[in-house]
Amino acid sequence: MDFEQARFNMIEQQIRPWDVLDPDVLDLLAAVKREDFVPPAYRSLAFADMEIPLPCGESMLAPKVEARLLQELAVRKHEWVLEVGTGSGFMAALLGHCAAHVLSLEIHSELAEAAQQRLRQAGVMNANVRCLDASQEIPPGEFDVIVLSGSVAQLPQPLVDRLKPGGRLCAVVGDLPVMRAQLLTRTGERESRLVDLFDTVAPRLHGFAETPRFRF
């Protein structure tokens, strides 16, 4: 398989048509080898417009969703990033090239260990993976950027509270069949601005509160 041609096709046929036009993001997607973060059985599908299965019943986000989230976050070189839901480690690798430091949290130890190994093999030394349930525990400190690499029913307030002033949190929010990527920017000590970005779907992150169901 010609991975470079497949990568080019992914960018031109999936990423650009989804309004990902930031040249830095496009260059990054061309440089970071997505196929190295995909389970061996799915390497031929590394650039397909789909969620790729991972161990523990998890899956990678579709390439265009990862790219769009990365563009909307506009991570800068001095910023500290928290990712919830490491998965394969690919999003952490992309973030690592943009930020000063990335802390990625993964609930499954098998995925966390494999992702950390892939990051080191890819030369991404400023991204660290911890096996932790972010719905129950968040490492101390504040972050410039928080990204949820999976969906939640609503934005978790404990994560919002960890944003620095001016910080951004991006997540896919809602319930099937309708979900929407949202970007929250903290504008003050208690103030924030919420913007709806685009409609999509994403696998659920474990542990976070679900939408209450009405019972008759």
- For 75, the domain range is 3-200
Asked if pLDDT for residue 118 goes beyond 80, the answer is yes
**CA distance linking residue 52 with residue 166, whole number of Å:** 33
Say how many domains are in the chain: 1
Residue 158 lies in a domain: yes
The per-residue pLDDT for range 123-132, each reduced to its tens digit, is 999 999 999 9
Residue 205 lies in a domain: no
Residue 208 lies in a domain: no
Burial status of residue 115 (CB atoms within 10 A of its CB: 0-12, 13-18, 19 or more): buried
The per-residue pLDDT for range 82-101, each reduced to its tens digit, is 999 999 999 999 999 999 99
Residue 16 lies in a domain: yes
Residue 212 lies in a domain: no
What is the domain-level CATH number for residue 83?
3.40.50.150
Residue 210 lies in a domain: no
Where does the pLDDT of residue 73 fall: very low under 50, low under 70, confident under 90, or very high at 90 and above?
very high
The per-residue pLDDT for range 139-151, each reduced to its tens digit, is 999 999 999 999 9
**Average per-residue pLDDT for the chain:** 95
Residue 12 lies in a domain: yes
Residue 206 lies in a domain: no
Burial status of residue 159 (CB atoms within 10 A of its CB: 0-12, 13-18, 19 or more): buried
Q: Given this model, what pLDDT does residue 137 score? A: 93
